[in-house]
Structure 1
Amino acid sequence: MTPARTARGWRAPARWIAAKLGAAVLVVWVVATVVFFALRATGDPLEAILGGPGSQAGPETVQAAIDRYALDQPLIVQYLLQLRDIATLQLGDSYARRQPVNDLLEAQLPSTLLLAVLALALAWILTVASALIQALSRGRIGSAVGSAMRGLEIVASVSPQFWLGAVLIMVFASSLGWLPATSAGSSPATLVLPVVTLAIPIAGFLSQVSRDALVEADEAPFATSARARGASEARVLLHHTLRHAALPALALSGWALGSLLSGAVVVEVLFARPGLGRLLQEAALQRDVPVVIGAVAVIALIYVAVVILTDLVELAVDPRLRRRARPPQPEAETEAGR
């Protein structure tokens, strides 16, 4: 292998990595910019720093807050200082809690990540189960099963999480008493209702995408060829069509996790569960700019990281994508390699 060919082989992955890193920086910059100016438009941050309306802070305390947070500087200077803090991962102190933002995020992030990952895993289990049920059921009974499953998918995908969570609390906590209504405590049972609340809408959407892809794959030439070679329907499903049907839903897993992280705001508040979403909701109500920007920036970075990981998994699962990503080889080098 010549040095030129080696350089070309590394150039494509390097461009891909640079593009993903650039996308991550762009996402964080846009999010931080929107949040900063949106929160500033809601009122003077000095009021939030001093404890809200009616604060009895003296002139010295007010001046100390102004000096500490550079509130006497033009707005554009304050914005640039905020971007500098994000770039250096030094997000400052919370206005309301008087604690470093990094410490607050570090304490709340694991709880939210656990909730989102468990919800995504459950959503995928429900998606695969739905695809298997619809694919293995045939005939008149199968048609009825497929229609019922499609109806459930639609209902699940459009169910608002706050409504779904309230219904689950009413049925399984208040009426039956099987599960706790809040997430107070460390028992695994406290995770059940929040995880199910987050997972069902995502599972409904992923199931619809997978079902359409499964129908298309079932009619593809590779499936017909497998049947012609004597493969059973179960073998065609498990070894051929199901893998191809999972690819579109797999591509949407990054979006799904981002949706779960944003949905965690509603679910953590509804189930009184500690986490990044609840911290973000409280900080937004208190106009706690450093905490809101820090939390949103972390969520954005997690979303970009998951999208990159999803792309890598797609490359590992689908050999066609690896062939497309492989840089073309000049004819002369191809002949030399022979």
Structure 2
Amino acid sequence: MSRDLTRPRGRVARSLGWLARRVAGAVFVLWATATLIFFAIRLVPGDPAEAILGGPGSQASPEALAGVRAEYGLDQPLLLQYLAQLGRLASLDLGTSYSLKTDVAGLLAVQLPGTLLLAVLSLALAWLIAIGTAWWATLGGRVAAAVSSGLEVVASAVPHFWLASMLIVVFSSTLGWLPPVSTGTPAGLVLPVVTLALPVAGFLGQVTRDSLFDAAAAPFALSARARGESRGGLFGRHLLRHAALPGLALSGWAFGSLLSGAVVVESVFARPGLGRTLLGAVTLRDIPLVTGVALVSALSYVVVVALGDLAERAVDPRGRTA
């Protein structure tokens, strides 16, 4: 009886410990991101006070520049500016955009859903492509394995800007099937999603295919074949579950790669989102907006990594007691 009561308590303790580690890791990642952005943006040539007043072309007077520096604390020592920013971020105050003169949190709330939709759809498509190529490589013999391996290497090495340009030339300019820019419709999502998904699918496909071959040689697969399991059943019920574990561990990295790739893809396809917002903010030295975008992206990455860990624990029961 006492042993039965101890087991749930042990599971709860492990779950709370896992959650505490995740929260501590998230806080550290956000602090490191805010620190890196704070010092990196100040290495960019130019005066933040000029950016607040409209850029170098505004021809602001020295008095106006001095007033802005005093208002935003830019005349303080760098360490005091850094501590002040950490204090604002700790109170969930992302500040006001220098260039757009609007609340950063409200602006990010508008731009974030589009980028998250693009990244989630791209990750889902990347997994479908990876599983499809792994299925073909496993069931198609040596030729299929060699061809799929070559395609995965090529896909993982293709730059986003080149792939986006080729897709626009083929499917928009030549065939006229899809719009070359974002139109706010499902058709306008196809090319951006494919552009982001293919390189990630190449990485996931390589990892999944190698794991499939290892799993196919394992004793449990040999036992399933001896029981008369079909090739499709062996793949779906046995091999894929084991082969997906390394890919699930990489899903957090893949999502981070998709967020970084969104900077290029959203610019090429004129799609609103965090990527285009970040590009414009860096160009204009908009420190609060750059910091806000970086922190939201880092937080999204941390959440996806945690979800990937949960999925891995669900697929592999050994991870629940590790």
Query: If the TM-score is normalised by the length of the shorter chain, which range does it land in?
Result: over 0.9
**Which residue is equivalent to 2:188?**
190
Q: CA deviation at 1:56?
A: 3.4
Deviation at 1:148?
A: 1.4
Answer yes or no: is the 8 Å Cα contact 1:266–1:277 preserved in 2. yes
Where does structure 2 lack aligned partners over 5 or more consecutive residues?
Answer: none
- Tell me by how many angstroms 1:44 deviates: 2.2
The separation in 2 between residues aligned to 1:55 and 1:233, in whole angstroms, is 69
Match of 2:20 among 15, 18, 21: 18
Question: Equivalent residue for 1:164?
Answer: 163
> Is 1:136 matched with 2:155?
no
Tell me if 1:263 matches 2:284: no
Aligned to 2:113: 110
In the alignment, which residue of structure 2 is the partner of 1:251? 249
| Kept in 2: contact 1:161–1:263 (CA 8 A) | yes
* Paired residue type of 1:247: L
Are 1:86 and 1:294, in contact at CA under 8 Å, matched by a contact in 2?
Answer: no
How far apart are 1:4 and its partner, in Å?
A: 7.0
**Length, aligned pairs only:** 319
2:114 and 2:314 map into 1 onto residues whose CA distance is 30
Specify the alignment match of 1:28 in structure 2: 30
Comparing 65-74 with 263-272, which one deviates more in the overlay? 65-74
Q: Which letter maps to 1:91?
A: L
Distance 2:16 2:280 in 1: 41
Q: Check whether the contact 2:95–2:103 (CA below 8 A) recurs between aligned residues.
A: yes
Distance 2:106 2:315 in 1: 38
Q: Which amino acid aligns with 2:216?
A: D
Larger Rg: 1
Alignment partner of 2:74 out of 67, 71, 76: 71
Instruction: Please point out which of 29, 39, 42 is paired with 1:40.
Output: 42
Aligned residues with identical type, % of pairs: 56
Tell me the distance in 2 between the aligned counterparts of 1:283 and 1:243.
Answer: 43
In the alignment, is the contact (CA less than 8 A) between 2:126 and 2:198 conserved in 1? yes
Q: Which amino acid aligns with 1:72?
A: D
**3-state secondary structure, aligned to 2:58:** coil
* Residue in structure 1 matched with residue 220 of structure 2 by the alignment: 222
Partner of 1:328: none
Residue in 2 that maps onto 1:332 = none
Q: What's the secondary structure of 2:321's corresponding residue? A: helix
Give 2:34's aligned amino acid.
A
**Distance in structure 2 (CA, Å) of the matches to 1:129 and 1:300:** 30
Gaps of 5+ in 1: 325-338
From the superposition, tell whether residues 155 and 6 of structure 1 become closer, same or farther in structure 2 (CA, over 3 Å).
closer
CA separation of 1:229 and 1:5: change in aligned 2, threshold 3 A: closer
